[in-house]
Structure 1
Amino acid sequence: MADEADALLRALHQAYARPLQHYVVRLTGDHALAQDVVQEAMVRAWTHPEVLTRDEGATRAWLYTVVRNLVIDDRRSARHVRERSTEHAPDTAQPDASQAVLDSWLVADALEQLTPEHRAVVVGAYYGGRSVAELAREHQVPEGTVKSRMHYALRALRLALQERGVTS
């Protein structure tokens, strides 16, 4: 009996799987959903063996009704309303930049605690890429003064960052 039911189910799948899939694709435009719906319809046919013994027209009508109802149920589901699928995944993963933004805010806030002279040499050297000699000419001070300001500015910056919870 089981072998006969299996043979009938294979014949049912052979005869109707492709036309049912085309029907669902015409209804939804979604090939993946069409495969899932046809598979579910075949499972339902398997769990209702009386369908396998009906005449061909009644079996066909039952399968198309099941498929249509499955599509309607899918379209009414919360998953369909909230989820969107795409055929193509993004090419590359984008790194999360939120930590870098937070770090830059933290450093900018700590830089505000420095004196204008100290801030100018730190920003000029680290963000501007200028040498001690260039900073000395720009601020019209001796190179030793620039070095001294840099030393005390970095010390003050380290303390300001420690106060904000950044550990060394």
Structure 2
Amino acid sequence: MLPVPRHLDSRFESAETDDDVLVEVLYQEFGASLLRHVRKATGNDLQWAEDVVQETIVRAWRNAGKLHREPGLLWAWLLTVARRIVIDGRRRRGARPQEVEPADADAVSVPDASEQALEAMIVADALRDLSEEHREVIEHTYLRDRTISEAAEILGIPPGTVKSRLYYGIRALRGILKERGVAS
């Protein structure tokens, strides 16, 4: 509890008629002590503590007609209100993500699929240079995600032939891409 000197009683009594005088007296007499107390409650966040003290005094001003003018009771009321404001602030901060500065628009990376699209176009063009037999087995196995057996059944050829054509087709495709400077 904050010790309140006896000389304050007369100042609080004169503040009974004027609410603005009350606010001034509260700031002068309790502001520094309240700020020290609130800084501890806010984790030593000076800006937040100053906001809490200001809001506490504003609430005292709004409720000036209801306040007991005895310094000890005023101090207890101010501490209670300040504590509740801090609790409300903690709840708000917990319920909402902490705000951050927006990133510079030039620094934000945007996913770009242009390289993948270019590679797909080059591979599609290289596939056209393969023989029809090799292109068919590559399309059925790699592009349509079919098994060797499924591709063999659709194409009407034995599975061993699909494997052979796939092996030589992929080898030819790598050679074409290497010529074009795409594969190593």
TM range (shorter): 0.5 to 0.7
Residue by residue over 1:140-167, the C-alpha shift from the partner in whole angstroms, topping out at 9 and shown as x without a partner, is xxxxxxxxxxxxxxxxxxxxxxxxxxxx
Q: Name structure 1 gaps, 5 residues minimum.
A: 125-168
**Structure 2 vs 1, CA of residues 118 and 5 (structure 1 numbering), >3 Å: closer, same or farther?**
same
Query: How far apart, CA to CA, are the structure 1 residues paired with 2:35 and 2:181?
Result: 67
Aligned to 1:80: 94
Q: Is the 8 Å Cα contact of residues 35 and 50 (structure 2) preserved in structure 1?
A: yes
Equivalent positions of 1:107-146 (< 5 A) are: 107-115=118-126, 117=176, 120-121=179-180, 123=182
SS across alignment from 1:113: helix
TM-score with structure 1 setting the length: 0.55
Query: How far apart, CA to CA, are the structure 1 residues paired with 2:55 and 2:35?
Result: 12
Q: Is the 8 Å Cα contact of residues 51 and 59 (structure 1) preserved in structure 2?
A: no
Identity of aligned residues (%): 31
Q: Name structure 2 gaps, 5 residues minimum.
A: 1-14, 127-172
Q: What is the CA-CA distance between 1:37 and the residue it aligns to?
A: 1.2
SS across alignment from 1:97: coil
Query: How far apart, CA to CA, are the structure 1 residues paired with 2:69 and 2:29?
Result: 14
Aligned to 1:60: 75
Residue by residue over 1:105-145, the C-alpha shift from the partner in whole angstroms, topping out at 9 and shown as x without a partner, is 33333333231536743648xxxxxxxxxxxxxxxxxxxxx
Q: What is the CA-CA distance between 1:13 and the residue it aligns to?
A: 1.4
**Structure 2 vs 1, CA of residues 110 and 119 (structure 1 numbering), >3 Å: closer, same or farther?**
farther
Query: How far apart, CA to CA, are the structure 1 residues paired with 2:32 and 2:121?
Result: 67
Aligned to 2:31: 17
2:117 to 106, 110, 125: 106
SS across alignment from 1:10: helix
Q: How many residues align?
A: 120
**One-letter code aligned to 2:71:** E
**Structure 2 vs 1, CA of residues 25 and 111 (structure 1 numbering), >3 Å: closer, same or farther?**
farther
SS across alignment from 1:98: coil
**Structure 2 vs 1, CA of residues 80 and 20 (structure 1 numbering), >3 Å: closer, same or farther?**
farther
**One-letter code aligned to 1:15:** E
Large movers: runs of 4+ above 6 Å: none
Residue by residue over 1:70-115, the C-alpha shift from the partner in whole angstroms, topping out at 9 and shown as x without a partner, is 11222233x32432368xx79x847222233x33333333333231
2:107 to 60, 73, 95: 95
